[in-house]
Amino acid sequence: MSKLRVAVLGAKGRIGSEAVRAVGAAADMELVAALGRGDRLETLVESGAQVAVELTTPASVVGNLDFCVRHGIHAVVGTTGWTDERLAHLRTTLEASPETGVLIAPNFSIGAVLTMTFAAKAARWFESVEVVELHHPNKADAPSGTATRTAQLIAAARAEAGCAPQPDATVTALEGARGADVDGVPVHAVRLRGLLAHQEVLLGGEGETLTLRHDSLHHSSFMPGILLGVRRVVDTPGLTFGLENYLDLG
């Protein structure tokens, strides 16, 4: 069987360099290009890449994906910064290339995906829910893509179940003290040397709390999800948002 021809964008970055190693070590894949900032995107076409793994920055990702989709190159995207407007633009771009698949995964680690799923399941049963994400201090964006997605899933589950707004008697607060409001769910971002990527979902009800915590201790935690994404995206046209859609979680 022929190997999947894979390129990595953001190949010198923290996660991109790990992805270069993981793709290079996968028996069913061939690393055909490893691009950094300033490298020509045409290399993707010249190298015959079938899938581009996009791990750059929110400022670069949209342009990179436009190029990939226009050239029929499937994409597995970990880069953060996705707004409704950006997703609408991507969907429009994909309409002109209906065979092409794009997976955007706010988090490639299986544990983080499960945490999001469990949090969404639990959210309707508790009066209060807050999200705390904790990352290394070199991270450019806050809150994390994972925390934003977690809060959105929680909010959607609560809305569907008809939950009342969360209790919160705060009248005066220093700006930021109650975190960022993501669809009514407070999200708090910690940046601390020594950390990599961590998240807690705190749920509170009458006389009880439930804490869901996930820790990524090394960038290797994201690799099985990236490799799974590469294998599945070639047979999954259109936009898929969230690795959970590839995990058959039931």
Ligand X SMILES: O=C(O)C1=N[C@H](C(=O)O)C[C@H](O)C1
Ligand Y SMILES: NC(=O)C1=CN([C@@H]2O[C@H](COP(=O)(O)OP(=O)(O)OC[C@H]3O[C@@H](n4cnc5c(N)ncnc54)[C@H](OP(=O)(O)O)[C@@H]3O)[C@@H](O)[C@H]2O)C=CC1
Q: Would you list which residues are annotated within the binding site for (S)-2,3,4,5-tetrahydrodipicolinate?
A: 136, 145-146
> Residue 79 binds which one of ligand Y, ligand X, none, with CB within 5 to 8 A depending on kind?
ligand Y
Which string of x and - marks every residue 140-179 that binds ligand X (by CB under 6 A)? ----xxx---------------------------------
Tell me if 139 contacts ligand X by CB under 6 A. Answer: yes
- Return d(Cα 222, Cα 15) in angstroms, integer: 8
Partner that binds at residue 93, options ligand Y, ligand X, none, CB closer than 5 to 8 Å by kind: none
Single out the residue of 30, 36, 66, 128 in contact with ligand Y (rule: CB under 6 A): 36
Q: Is 206:167 a contact under the CB 8 Å cutoff?
A: no
DSSP 93-152: HHHTSTT-EEEE-S---HHHHHHHHHHHHHGGG-SEEEEEEEE-TT--SSS-HHHHHHHH
User: With respect to ligand Y, which residue has the nearer C-beta, 107 or 199?
Assistant: 107
* Helix or strand holding residue 239 (H, E): strand 238-241
Task: Verify binding: residue 9, ligand Y, rule CB under 6 A.
Answer: yes
| Residue in 120, 182, 185, 197 binding ligand X, rule: CB under 6 A | 197
By CB under 6 A, the count of residues binding ligand Y is 24
Tokens in use for 140? Answer: 């450019």
- b/e per residue 77-112 (b: at least 16 CB within 10 A): bbbbebeeeeeeebeebbeebeebbbbbbbbbbbeb
Provide the CA 130 distance to its chain's centre, in angstroms: 19
Q: Nearer Cβ to ligand X, position 104 or 155?
A: 104
Instruction: Single out the segment in contact with ligand Y by CB under 6 A; choices: 23-31, 75-83, 126-134, 179-187.
Output: 75-83
Q: Which does 37 bind (CB under 5 to 8 A by kind): ligand X, ligand Y, none?
A: ligand Y
Query: Is 135 a residue of the active site?
Result: yes
Q: Which of 177, 109, 122, 195 is nearest to 154 (CA)?
A: 122
Least Cβ distance, residue 187 to ligand X (angstroms): 11
Q: Which of 135, 188, 198, 219 is catalytic?
A: 135
Just list the catalytic residues.
135, 139
